[in-house]
A and B are shown apart, each in its own frame.
Chain A
């Protein structure tokens, strides 16, 4: 059955990783698709597409959200941070270094979401207990079940950030 749908679009301007990006988008476009397809920022992964896995987690005004469950039009005028925005020019963010040092990933698919959730956790709670880390990442699923090292990586990053401050 062919269903003809009227195309409804709207202009949006979103600050993505500190740069203003404008586009005319379909109202039904999901933020995850806007980031990946409209802007070419493929670091944001789409896993389950049903609000469960957290692979698509990005920061919306500093708060982790599942970008498959936010419309691009909702982000108009707001700030998004993706995994690409964590990396300073010519280096790695402490959370990225920590995931590397502690081997906090196996296949790596959940890693961008895990890192963004962790960055938000550490901004709110610079010295989390392993229990608090597990609680914070409970909306991010690692299909490799590599949680032990993910928790270690977050603790590692917490220590690095504390030293730096």
Chain B
């Protein structure tokens, strides 16, 4: 399979990359890891006239904390996240998600920021970031802006990003001590998209739940934030009843469709069960944190 022809640019600075994007407008696509984009090009679902490969731009590979925030640069691969003790220890849901994205070889090239910009409703990172809370940093012709993750996704493969903008990174606020998360995913086999998955990040405060972030994968037009479930848990004691009730609210928030991975009813039930499991795992880990 060959993609349609395109002009290829490998700029070494962001300014250069932005100039090319401005020149081509929505006829250009940004190439980072390429693990979603190149398959789309090969299937000719996408046929841009220009590709802007950002892999040769310096300074986009940062994964670390600065000014009390986690920074994930545009070229940080899933692989790097999977091997990061910082994510495992302090940013629970992100550490839990990384090893579950696609397969190990795809994870060697694919990027977190690229996955988020691609906005596949079955993508894993969107849910993980919705659960923990994050800002997507985009650079465009008129400068930089921060887009809250819950304002990013407009629909399947659609985001608030402009065609002339490049995601340069993601910022995540330090969730504090006594905090942890989980990502519970049902996939038919390694590398398949999620039938359904639930991302949870919980911060405890004096033994009760301070903040609970819950987001769903593969059961809606975008990654979905289960707001009512989150609100029901905020300030609550982590009792069995509170967890079960939040899990039912999360299942209500799902908008699953019947497909070859399962019926809508089945997926909604998976969301309920997985929300319960993810909450229990997160609360137990947060107590140990």
**Interface membership of B5, Cβ < 8 A:** yes
Q: Do A74 and B53 have beta carbons less than 8 Å apart?
A: yes
- Contact indicator B35/A69 (Cβ below 8 Å): yes
Stretch of B17-25, B104-112, B250-258 on the interface side: B104-112
Check B51–A66 contact: CB distance below 8 A: no
Selecting from B37-45, B142-150, B174-182, the interface stretch reads: B37-45
How many contacts A-B (CB < 8 Å)? 89
Known A28-B2, A50-B39; judge A139-B7 contact (CB<8 A).
no
Which range contains the number of A residues in contact with the other chain? 35 or more
> Is the Cβ of B191 less than 8 Å from the Cβ of A139?
yes
Could you tell me if A138 and B191 are in contact, using CB atoms closer than 8 angstroms?
yes
B103 near A139 with CB under 8 A, answer: yes
Docked-complex contact A54 and B34, CB < 8 angstroms: no
Known contacts A5-B4, A26-B5, A74-B53; is-contact A135 B38 (Cβ 8 Å): no
- A8 located at the interface, meaning its Cβ lies under 8 Å from any Cβ of chain B in the complex: yes
A65 touches B191 (CB 8 A): no
From 8 to 48 in chain B, residues with beta carbon under 8 angstroms from any chain A beta carbon are 8, 10, 31, 34-35, 38-39, 41-43
Q: Is there an interface contact between B5 and A66, defined as CB atoms closer than 8 Å?
A: no
Contact B1 A8 (CB under 8 A): no
CB of B160 within 8 Å of the partner chain: no
Tell me which residues across on chain A come within 8 A of B39, comparing CB atoms.
50-51, 69
Chain A positions near chain B (C-beta within 8 angstroms): 5-8, 10, 26-30, 33, 49-52, 54, 57, 63-66, 68-71, 73-74, 76, 117, 135-140
